[in-house]
Structure formats: structure tokens, C-alpha cells
Amino acid sequence: MHSMFSISSQAMAAGRLGPLLGIIIVLALFDAAMKGWGMWRAARMSKNIWFIALLIVNSLGILPIIFLLVTKKEYAKMEKKR
């Protein structure tokens, strides 16, 4: 009897994690996209310190967004020269 109660409570707990798991997956995908975009731009602009920081720091996309905003004008000028 005890094992049946344990299994059903575990199943109920797993059911409550569904929405949270979806949010975690969306945040992870967003972080990966922002990190990839930031690292791509850092590499193209030869910003080695930023590249390493973006590689190491996990900030849910905050650090890559800051980098992308800070380098927006400089990157646009660089692309016009090409």
C-alpha cells in the first residue's frame, strides 16, 4: 500500500513540473540563440575578451544582449566597409 501512494505522488509531482519544464526549455533555447549570435559577432569583430566571456558566463541571454546592443553601431560601420 505504501509503494502505491509513493508512485502516485511522484506522478502528481511530475505533472506539476510540465509548465515549468516548458519555460526552462524556452529559456534555454533563447539563451543558446543569444549566446550563439553574440559569439558570432564577437568573432567577426575580433573581440576575443567578449568571445571568452560569452562562452563562459551563463546569464540567460542577458550578457549577449548587452554585447549586441553595445556593438550595434560599430558592427554596422564594419559591415559597410566590406
pLDDT tens per residue, range 25-53: 998 999 999 999 999 999 999 999 999 99
Widest distance between CA atoms in the chain: 74
Domain ranges across the chain: 2-81
Task: Supply the mean pLDDT for the chain.
Answer: 85
Per the listing, cell 511522484 goes with: 10
